């Protein structure tokens, strides 16, 4: 009985929110190090992230090969960290099933080096990790800075990451689940950011082109490249927010049903 | 002028619908061979598919390594075929930008060995290829048979693939774009299938578990496994359709905005 009360007391003592951190740029990327720094101020932090860059891995999972997940020490912070050869989504699954002993109060993914606004969400490992958190019933946020550079300035991003993560943690008892946010921060100085704008995913896409080359053995290969085009004139989109100096917040769903087409398709006579 | 009219005539002669075929089980999988057989009856077929299995690759694209795409001859059919080391989504991008000289009238992906109903759409390379087709403005259908076996019986699947693809091709002038269908066919004999049911993605998920092992060098690794759990009691879902012997048709959207949360989030005071 004494033991039981002691445990209760200990539990109360460490009753900080449990925060799972991941990304797709790899566990040593400056973006995730900035995210860990902020999260250490808000709760008990556990990092499970890819050991190498996993950009563009979307919602890929590792079925046909093996997964490693090893504890590592990268800096002097209080967080525990694990690196894996898996994708960002694998990292979330490993964290939930293998590493953590209770469901985290929050999952944060990023800070991504580069925008994940509009259609980019579907290709992004960072956002797919957040979506996987949502599927697992964890309030989840993907953070991205619209600057692809490795040495990007995360000062303004850290400011808004803390505001938004704190608000989600404070609201966590009353959040409608699944709860997933796609947060993009414009790469401009903090004092130029005009605030936070909540909106929808813009209708935009990449127009691909392939850079064709010949390898030293004479075989043709190519690199995927492309140009981002925004078809959307709306003033309620993530692209509009970013272009106008706002931090963009888009709530995300993993129900991909196109509900507006169901009635139309029900009227189709497939056998006529 | 004579030359011009000659060309017009030739174009009319070959005015069959152009159909792009891909999958995620690899270009030699029985499922895609069955799909090609059916599509050759409906139009001019070009196949661009992964050279090896890409199950679970989701919407992954290849950014950090090189892509190959080589013409191959696999059987005696009239189709042209290309295999790539890329993901299913890469194959669609390669097809649209590098292989085809006009936008195809239809993209079909599959026939997948195994179900892609409910949440599986988000992990599935087969469905991600169809979604990428939708992003490109191509009417696109992903077909899956609820039987994982390599030697699964595709007889009933082929019957319904033809009915649905024919209907989409006939309607192609009037389809609302983006137009993406997720079609799942139950693995039961044709005469037991009760018809086609149009519905929504069921609320279901995988509960992961990891099969832990030790490699010959003493290092711990694991395999991702899991159990599929359907939380959805609805009678309008893809899972309900399949359980009741129907072919399930779900229209798909790549706008992942959770519209129902926008107003709620707009009321948040992030700075309070």
Range B166-173 average pLDDT: 95
Gap from A216 CA to chain B (nearest CA, Å):
13
- On average, the pLDDT of chain A sits at 93
Band (pLDDT 50/70/90 cuts) for residue B7 is: very low
Distance CA B52, CA A178 (A): 35
Residue B1 pLDDT > 70: no
Range B110-127 average pLDDT: 96
Pick the more confident residue, A74 or A2: A74
Question: From the candidates A25, A48, A50, A60, which should be mutated to test the interface with B, based on the most B CB atoms within 10 A?
Answer: A60
Q: What is the DSSP string of chain B?
A: -HHHHHHHHHHHHT-PPEEEEE-SS-TTSHHHHHHHHHHTTTSEEEEEEESS--TT-TT----SS-B-EEEE--SSSS-EEEEESS-HHHHHHHIIIII-SS--SEEEEEEEES---TTHHHH-HHHHHHHHHHHTT--EEEEEES---TT---HHHHHHHHHHHHHHHHTGGGPPSS-EEEEEE-SS-GGG---EEE-B---EEEEEEEEEEE-TTS-EEEEEEEEEEE----SSBHHHHHHTTPEEEEEB----B-GGGHHHHHT--TT-
Gap from A200 CA to chain B (nearest CA, Å):
6
Question: Are B252 and A271 an interchain contact pair (Cβ–Cβ within 8 Å)?
Answer: no
- On average, the pLDDT of chain B sits at 93
Nearest chain A alpha carbon to B118:
A255
Distance CA B214, CA A193 (A): 51
The answer to whether residue B53 neighbours chain A at the CB level (below 8 Å) is yes
Band (pLDDT 50/70/90 cuts) for residue B272 is: low
Q: CA angle, corner A119, sides to B139 and B85, nearest 5?
A: 70
The answer to whether residue A210 neighbours chain B at the CB level (below 8 Å) is yes
Nearest to B59 among A90, A123, A259 (CB): A123
β-pairing, B247-251 vs B180-185, is: antiparallel
Range B1-28 average pLDDT: 69
Distance CA B180, CA B192 (A): 27
The answer to whether residue B128 neighbours chain A at the CB level (below 8 Å) is yes
What residues of chain A lie within 8 A of the CB of B203, using their CB? 255
Band (pLDDT 50/70/90 cuts) for residue A15 is: confident
Look at residue A14 in the predicted model and tell me its pLDDT: 53
Largest Cα separation within chain B, whole Å, is 77
Look at residue A208 in the predicted model and tell me its pLDDT: 84
Question: Are A210 and B249 an interchain contact pair (Cβ–Cβ within 8 Å)?
Answer: no
Range with the poorest average pLDDT among A4-8, A196-200, A214-218, B268-272: A4-8
What structural domains and CATH numbers belong to chain B? Answer: 2-201+233-266 (3.40.1210.10)
Nearest to A224 among B93, B163, B251 (CB): B93
Percentage of chain B exceeding pLDDT 70? 94
Question: Are B64 and A57 an interchain contact pair (Cβ–Cβ within 8 Å)?
Answer: no
Range B146-167 average pLDDT: 97
Look at residue B3 in the predicted model and tell me its pLDDT: 43
Question: Are A210 and B259 an interchain contact pair (Cβ–Cβ within 8 Å)?
Answer: no
Per residue in A33-72, pLDDT (tens digit) is: 999 999 999 999 999 999 999 989 999 999 889 999 999 9
Question: Are A64 and B57 an interchain contact pair (Cβ–Cβ within 8 Å)?
Answer: no
Gap from A152 CA to chain B (nearest CA, Å):
20
Question: Are A199 and B67 an interchain contact pair (Cβ–Cβ within 8 Å)?
Answer: no
Per residue in B211-232, pLDDT (tens digit) is: 999 999 999 999 999 899 999 9
Look at residue B10 in the predicted model and tell me its pLDDT: 44
The answer to whether residue B208 neighbours chain A at the CB level (below 8 Å) is yes
Gap from B63 CA to chain A (nearest CA, Å):
6
Look at residue A272 in the predicted model and tell me its pLDDT: 55
Look at residue B185 in the predicted model and tell me its pLDDT: 98
The answer to whether residue B80 neighbours chain A at the CB level (below 8 Å) is no
Residue A8 pLDDT > 60: no
**Quick check: A60 and B57 in contact, CB under 8 A?**
yes
Per residue in A74-113, pLDDT (tens digit) is: 999 999 999 999 999 999 999 999 999 899 999 999 999 9
What residues of chain B lie within 8 A of the CB of A57, using their CB? 58, 60
ipTM of the complex as predicted: 0.91
Look at residue B11 in the predicted model and tell me its pLDDT: 47
Gap from B4 CA to chain A (nearest CA, Å):
31
Question: From the candidates A58, A88, A93, A200, which should be mutated to test the interface with B, based on the most B CB atoms within 10 A?
Answer: A58
Per residue in A149-197, pLDDT (tens digit) is: 999 999 999 999 999 999 999 999 999 999 999 999 999 999 999 999 9
Q: Which residue has the tokens 């990007």?
A: A152
Bridge partner residues of A183 (DSSP): A143, A249
Burial of residue B268 (CB within 10 Å: 0-12, 13-18, 19+) is middle
Nearest chain B alpha carbon to A92:
B208
Q: Taking the model in full, what pTM does it have?
A: 0.92
The answer to whether residue B66 neighbours chain A at the CB level (below 8 Å) is yes
Neighbours of B194 (CB within 10 A): 12
Gap from B35 CA to chain A (nearest CA, Å):
18
């Amino acid at each position: 009985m004494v033991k039981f009360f002691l445990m209760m007391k200990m539990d109360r003592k460490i009753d900080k929110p449990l925060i799972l951190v991941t990304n797709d740029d790899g566990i040593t990327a400056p973006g995730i190090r900035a995210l860990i720094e902020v999260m250490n101020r808000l709760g008990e932090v556990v990092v499970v992230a890819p050991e190498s860059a996993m950009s563009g891995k979307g919602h890929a999972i590792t079925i046909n090969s093996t997964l490693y997940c090893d504890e590592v020490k990268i800096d002097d912070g209080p967080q525990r960290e694990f690196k894996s050869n898996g994708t960002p989504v694998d990292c979330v699954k490993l964290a939930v099933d293998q590493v953590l002993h209770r469901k985290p109060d929050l999952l944060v993914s990023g800070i991504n080096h580069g925008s994940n606004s509009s259609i980019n969400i579907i290709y992004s490992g960072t956002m797919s990790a957040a979506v996987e958190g949502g599927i697992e019933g964890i309030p989840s946020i993907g953070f991205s800075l619209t600057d692809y550079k490795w040495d990007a300035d995360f000062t303004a991003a850290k400011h808004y990451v803390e505001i938004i993560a704190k608000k989600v943690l404070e609201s966590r008892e009353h959040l409608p689940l699944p709860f997933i946010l796609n947060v993009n921060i414009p790469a401009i100085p903090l004092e130029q950011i005009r605030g936070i704008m909540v909106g929808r995913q813009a209708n935009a896409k990449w127009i691909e082109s392939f850079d064709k080359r010949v390898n030293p053995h004479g075989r043709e290969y190519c690199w995927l490249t492309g140009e981002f085009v925004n078809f959307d004139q709306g003033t309620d989109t993530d692209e509009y927010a970013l272009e106008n100096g706002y931090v963009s917040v888009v709530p995300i769903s993993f129900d991909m049903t196109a509900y507006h087409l169901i009635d139309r398709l029900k009227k189709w006579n497939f056998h006529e």
